[in-house]
Structure 1
Amino acid sequence: MKKIIFTLFAAGFTNLVSAAIPPLKTEVVASGFNRPLFATAPNGDSRLFIVEQGGLVKVLQNGAVLPTPFLDLSAKVDTTGERGLVGMTFDPGFETNRRFYVDYIDKTTLDTVVATYQASASLPNVADTATAQTILTVAQPEFANHKAGWIGFRPGEATNLYIATGDGGSANDPQNRAQNLNENLGKILRVDVSADRFPADPTQYGYGIPSGNITTGNPEIYASGLRNPFRDSFDRETGTFYIADVGQNQREEINIGAAGANYGWRKFEGTLVNFPDDPPVPNHTPPIFEYNNEGSAGVIGGYVYRGETIDGLAGTYFFADLATDKVTSFRFTEGGGITELTDRTAELISPTGISGSITSFGEDGFGNLYLVSFDGGKIGMISAIPEAEGWAMMLAGMALVSAWVRRRQKIAAPAMPL
């Protein structure tokens, strides 16, 4: 029996020391936000910017939420259904040009507006609202769902802004907009924002068309066939483009972004045929990962971890599900597919931390990852359980084993030598 105890202890020691990835946890860094939808930061910046659906952007700095919002668009934003202030990103040159971008649904027109602002030159934690200029607008139908809203810059493409749009709403994309290359709904758009195309108009900024977009239809289109790519991301090291597309009644999917790709909606939902009588899908690109949503789910795309504080985790992609409160990770390589598919729910979701209602992941300026939750308006940082805490957990477990052995010895002494 002593040999058994030693073996269990040795196994625990070996696992603790040699594990490639330590146990993870979610550490709440701020709470009390009103329907937070996103968290982001400029590269190398110690602040974290939290986007609220109602139109506010707040700053978390040195562990405290600043009393004055960085940006207040509440007078401009409609918040019905899935509308609101739904996206934000910083220009790769933000440190010098102070420029950032937002994606929201306009209260008057109910259309998508992608606009640019600059932070104040004298007050870096406040945006200068006088610098507001419209990049582009996307006409929306009357439905209040499927507005997507993620925007971002790919590493190595400092002037190309990527914009995710949903199919505009209702169910089953009634006008098949995602397959219509003359509409910007149900797409990934890519535009060049390197210069103000309307220098004489203080309200308009405009955009150019980068090479590599589609050559037929609307020139802003980079990829098509999406239902509601609510949260997407770039791997900050490799540039790999992850697109998480919310399904309808059958499949949730994660795709890899590629110029000219068509992800199949509405003819396909994931790899399943949804509308068999629809025309064939040109350049159909199936997802790299999908799962059955059983009629009630909503994939929330995340990020590839590129922080420096969790050993062994680099290159791991995280995503979640809004309806099931499940958090999952995997590794993806071109040609190698998905490996290390891992359910992280037990590690990252808890009654005292982030308990569910995940609306987004966030990434700070150093590659650390966060969970964003409606429940309590919380922001939680994904971190490793400290080694001392891990040892304490293991020793507590060993104490239970030892107590169990002593109890067994008292109940029935073994006939064999110890």
Structure 2
Amino acid sequence: MKQGQVCRWLLLGVLGVAVAGCSKGGAGGDVFTETGQDPPLGDGADGGSSGDGGEASPSEGETVAERVSDAIPPVAAGTLRVGTQTVTAEMTAPLLGMALPELKDRLFVVDQVGMLWRVNLADGSKEPYLDVSSLLVPVGIEALEGYDERGFLGLAFHPQFATNGLLYTYTSEPVSGNADFTFPKLGSNCTGAPSGLTPDHQNVLREWTVSNPLDLASRPQATSRVVMRMDWGNYNHNGGMLAFGPDGLLYVSTGDGGGEDDQTCQVNGDKKPTIGHSPLGNSQDTRLIYGKMLRIDPTQRTSANGQYGVPADNPFVKDARYLPEIYALGLRNFWRFSFDTPTGALIGGDVGQITIEEVDVIRAGGNYGWRVKEGTAAFDTQAFELDASGETDGIPIQLVPGYPEGLTDPIAQYGHEHEKDEQGSATIGGFVYRGTAIPALSGKYIFGDYSSSEESSPPKGRLFTLSDLTDDELRGSVPGQLHEVQSLTDKPIDLHVLGFAQDANGELYVLGNESGIPKGQTGQLRRLVAP
């Protein structure tokens, strides 16, 4: 490895993969040495066999992270274009829309502050369908000027909703009773740490019942059933996307538990020390719920808490080293994902840290790399590159596509910047287009980015697609490859992008607001249209 880094390859038996551990100039030791992991097995090979990529040394004033970002191809202009048409407005922070095949002219829109709206797509009118605001922690963190990643985050209708009336929500709630899953009790010795390690909140998966599901006058019953309760040590990286797959099972994304580098004692965005991270990193710790894609059957009762079922064909169900609910691991904050109906592919965006955003196709048993890798780059949690605020972060140090074996690379990635040009800050997963209104988009994966500048005013949300992604690749019948990210607009749109929606006819929508925070009434649902 270059730049005077002392690098060694470690074998983490619990993962079954070789993992790179590096430190700058030998200072601080190897990444996992201080955390009690296995000792180095020897120096790793340098050069092409390790996926070195041959990146040049940083120029004067250029950081290692910038060098890695500049080595990634920039977001391309592309040739496809879309416009947006406002369907409804005056929401707060709409972040997800779900459709029902039996109600083709309606879309159910999740608002982060606790309201589930039912929107009439024909005339743009909306009405409250379910209000969960009383269940939530107060949303909007004063220290972050109102920014927050907690709230009403996920919704899924059971595939037989028309007959059984079941729907599911994912909400950030005050601590209430014992959780089914909790974090490692680490962090009490961090500088500025609280006296205890009380969770910031609990993320709760709930089941609701609608007595007359297709009656437009009917609403969910006032009480719900708690399916799963998870302690969360920090305010952020909650995941929270829910979706039923073509197998009729419920898939649940969980973030790595919050903070930076997936490790304890880093200073979080709210200026509090991060608590509750495993020495392995939560996303790579197979006995923790965090940083995973879960797969459960909420109508069965075989789980440890007796509130859901664990499918017998989950990939790790017979391996005692893993939680049986885990379908895939190594995710940082797989914020939004979707299933593509024709191919069955599970595809979405994993939000990066400070440098790289990525798109992944999730397969059973896959390990998607975090915190060993960010995108296709090796990630060093102890590089501690000083940023302008005086805080320190781990950084991606070198592109190593396809390496080490045992980790699955994304199908697309882009840097926050390319040669100082802003490109994005947080990827927002979308859908493969299967509608008819914009024929040029047929079969294209449509996704976006929160904003090309996190503090931009007006906002600069981005709409993207991928080059040459085929149905065969989505099905997994041909090898995956790294696809070029292409812009769908000539300039950013005037919203912070928070989510996407697909209606019952396959048409796509973007959701967002002007402020980028769960405050005010600037939230909108916009339909993608031909330019």
CA distance 1:271–1:22, change in 2 (3 Å)? closer
Q: Give the Cα separation in 2 of the matches to 1:180 and 1:340.
A: 31
Which among 182, 207, 219 is matched to residue 309 of structure 2? 207
Offset of residue 233 of structure 1: 1.0
3-state SS of paired residue (1:178): helix
Give the direction of change, closer, same or farther, for the CA distance of 1:276–1:76 in structure 2 (3 Å limit).
closer
- The structure-2 alpha-carbon separation of the partners of 1:74 and 1:213, relative to structure 1 and needing over 3 Å to count, comes to same
Choose from 297, 308, 311 the match for 2:425. 297
Amino acid at match of 1:221: I
Aligned length: 351
Report what 2:436 is aligned to: 308
Identity of aligned residues (%): 31
Which residue number corresponds to residue 106 of structure 1? 173
Residue 332 of structure 1 pairs with residue 469 of structure 2 = yes
Confirm or deny: 8 A CA contact 1:270 1:287 kept in the other structure. yes
- 1:50 to 2:105 alignment: no
What is aligned with 1:286?
Answer: 409
Report the residue type matching 2:207 in the other structure: T
Deviation per CA, 1:228-283, whole angstroms, max 9, x where unpaired?
Answer: 111111112111111310101121011110111111111111111112789x9773
- The answer (yes or no) to whether the contact 1:22–1:310 under 8 Å persists in 2 is no
CA contact (8 A) 2:295 2:314 kept: no
The answer (yes or no) to whether the contact 2:339–2:345 under 8 Å persists in 1 is yes
In 1, Cα distance between the equivalents of 2:483 and 2:351? 22
Q: Determine the structure 1 residue equivalent to 2:371.
A: 266
Give how far 1:22 is off: 7.8
| Consecutive unaligned residues in structure 2, runs of 5 or more | 1-78, 141-147, 177-200, 264-276, 383-393, 395-402, 453-460, 474-478, 515-521
Measured in 2, the distance between the counterparts of 1:96 and 1:184 equals 32
Equivalent-residue separation in structure 2 for 1:108 and 1:218 (angstroms): 23
TM-score computed with the length of structure 1 as normaliser: 0.78
The one-letter code matched in structure 1 to 2:488 is R
Higher percent of residues as helix? 1
Whole-angstrom CA distance in 1 between matches of 2:207 and 2:370: 30
RMSD: 2.6
Cα-to-partner distance string for 1:183-205 (whole Å, 9 max, x where unaligned): 1000000001244669xx9xx84
1:22 & 1:275 partners in 2: Cα distance?
Answer: 37
Is the partner of 2:490 in helix, strand or coil? Answer: helix
CA distance 1:182–1:339, shift in 2 (3 Å):
closer
Q: CA deviation at 1:207?
A: 2.6
Tell me if the contact between 1:260 and 1:283 (Cα under 8 Å) persists in the aligned partners.
no
**Does structure 1 conserve the Cα–Cα contact (< 8 Å) formed by 2:357 and 2:414?**
yes
> Is the Cα–Cα contact under 8 Å of residues 138 and 185 in structure 1 kept in the other structure?
no
- The one-letter code sitting in structure 1 at the alignment partner of 2:526 is G
Residues 379-402 of structure 1, C-alpha deviations (whole Å, 9 max, x = no match)? 0011224xxxxxxxxxxxxxxxxx
Matched, 1:236 2:341: yes
Work out whether residues 190 and 209 of structure 1, in 8 Å CA contact, stay in contact via their aligned partners in 2.
yes
Letter in 2 for 1:262: N
Letter of the 2:296 counterpart: V
Number of the residue aligned with 2:488:
344
1:168 aligns with 2:252: no
User: Residue 210 of structure 1: CA displacement?
Assistant: 3.9
Do 1:190 and 1:213's aligned partners in 2 also have CA atoms closer than 8 Å?
Answer: no
SS in 2 for 1:345: coil
- 1:82 maps to 2:82: no
Which deviations, in whole Å up to 9, do the C-alpha atoms of 1:342-390 show, x marking residues without a partner?
311238x55xxxx1201011111221110001122110011224xxxxx
Q: Distance in 1 between matches of 2:366 and 2:446?
A: 23
Alignment of 1:210-225 (within 5 A): 210-214=312-316, 215=319, 216-225=321-330
